[in-house]
Structure 1
């Protein structure tokens, strides 16, 4: 296999797309189709060859990753054996494509990525990796709800993001796009009736999970039934709780949703549930709240004083 060596067209900005649901996922396919249909961008795809949901920012370190060119109409695409962060790193390295893309888009994820879920999210990890290397990036997620959402909603989500994408590329061209953050975009379930764009801050919402022992014949079914989103309905997964059939020498456990915690402030989760397309600026790290800083500012000198007196 030869890497993509086409000569870049300087008249068109280049967008590279990755995700964590896998290169064949409907969210990525809808996003690429929508971008290609505008005839405004050169579109590259470098995405996992299988689902890599909730792998966060993990990378492949000791083994090589494979990249296989695949057919996506209007785009140059590679399916990669690694994680979303691997895909972004490879895609912006100039080892696979002839130049660094102007913008990296990660998504569209099946399920929202708000609050603390941005830490677990491979979708956000794919965008964050680009940010680490100074490439503007956006993670995009759709608040998929089973029984309500349909595959066509991903196309609506992609179209709703086009004004944001175009505006970002304008700022990049003008060299005015901020370099100390990347963006996380979440789209509401009812996209045709969305209330517009809303600048929000990352909240503390999270789906709390526990563990349940399962029999070996239940493991595959339970995993396949779970959505890639971590905000799935706790009643949507039917668990086989027959632990008696499991050998005590090799116990099997599967995650189960125990509940959730949300915050009522002006945060990403609240506003996406209210029907807004939320836009949240993220950095590489989450900083501790001010009250924690205040506590430890007084606490640490006391620890040092106690340690000195004990010598």
Structure 2
């Protein structure tokens, strides 16, 4: 009988990463569900702290620290890097003795649809595996404060089990396509989802703006660590700290949203579907743009 946490050559290996950090409830729930199924060897290689919205950032100049941590039923490491770093390290054979059959990045707290896919560290964790040639999926749950609960992550993980099992079956048969990876989003009311729906990436995005803030609003700590130019004019805050006129503080704030009208990932998610969106690494331009530049470029002096 297979024992969770013990490597079995008869079971496929799944490696988990995320961008919310190794202690995040979404990833912890996913690991528990996979381990409890008794069907997989589970590896975890995830950031040691939150790395949300870092996109596909990678670490080049500093060494990464990998620290063994205890997660029941899995072999797990917390890494001082980004989600893309963790994936790259985890499937390099430098950390684990073998390359996982499937990389899963998530479960993220918040959806990753439309243009937000570009910002997402969760999606980057899966994309990095795709770059290297390892099948991968990213998973996000449409968390809404005041409505969602931690238990929803478990329901989300369980809802993804058929997809995970089917992917690994196709991988074993060498019939799984290697020219894309999957981005999966689960609706807020995941217990009553409407089933899986194949979608395409849309253009939905939260519209952001910037507003100036003072040191009190920011916590006061940033100012004390700033290196000031000796020739610059100094401003004194109420708490006694100083700030150069050349160093101003700004914070993002939400100003609205752009949402697709057609049946893309975000709209289908809000309708209650579990959206399954194939993604690639290339970013082809709109056909109209290509036509414009085809005529424009020969006339450039």
**TM-score, normalising length from structure 2?**
0.89
Task: Supply the distance in 2 between the matched residues of 1:160 and 1:153 (Cα, whole angstroms).
Answer: 10
2:212 counterpart of 1:182: no
Residue matched to 1:266: 263
Cα drift, residue 8 of structure 1: 5.2
Give the root-mean-square deviation of aligned CA atoms.
1.7
Pick aligned residue for 2:250 from 253, 258, 261: 253
Alpha carbons of 1:215 and 1:66: their partners in 2 closer, same or farther (altered >3 Å)?
same
User: Where does residue 228 of structure 2 map in the other structure?
Assistant: none
Distance in 2 separating the partners of 1:28 and 1:179: 25
SS of the residue 1:34 aligns to: helix
User: 1:95 and 1:272 mapped to 2: Cα distance?
Assistant: 38
Provide the residue aligned with 2:276 in structure 1.
279
- Equivalent positions of 1:12-51 (< 5 A) are 12-51=11-50
Q: Distance in 1 between matches of 2:205 and 2:133?
A: 29
Shift of 1:298: 1.6
Structural mapping, 1:163-174, within 5 Å: 163-174=162-173
Partner of 1:69: 68
Hey, what's the Cα distance between the residues in 2 that align with 1:191 and 1:263? 22
Among candidates 288, 293, 297, match of residue 300 of structure 1: 297
1:249, CA displacement in angstroms? 4.0
Q: Name the SS for the 1:132 alignment partner.
A: helix
Note the residue ranges of structure 1 that are not aligned, 5 or more in a row: 1-5, 222-243
Deviation at 1:296, TM superposition (A): 1.4
Distance 1:143 1:273 in 2: 9
SS at match of 2:94: coil
Q: By how many angstroms is 1:210 displaced?
A: 1.1
Deviation at 1:7, TM superposition (A): 9.2
Structure 2 stretches lacking a partner, 5+ long: 221-236
Q: 1:9 Cα deviation (Å)?
A: 2.7
**Residue by residue, what CA displacement relative to the aligned partner does 1:78-131 show, whole Å, maximum 9, x if unpaired?**
000000000000000000000110000000000000000000000000000000
Aligned length: 278
> 1:54 matched to which residue of 2?
53
**Once the two structures are superposed, what CA deviation does each residue of 1:60-91 show, in whole Å capped at 9, x if it has no partner?**
10000100000000000000000000000000
Would you say the 8 A contact 1:8–1:98 is kept in 2? Answer: no
Distance in 2 between residues matched to 1:263 and 1:286, nearest whole Å? 19
CA contact (8 A) 1:7 1:98 kept: no
What secondary structure does 2:282 align onto? coil
1:8–1:99 contact (8 Å) kept in structure 2: no
- Name which of structure 1's ranges 249-258 and 101-110 shifts more when overlaid on structure 2: 249-258
Match of 1:120 in 2: 119
Q: What is the aligned partner in structure 2 of residue 83 from structure 1?
A: 82
1:294 positional shift: 1.5
| In 2, Cα distance between equivalents of 1:163 and 1:288 | 34
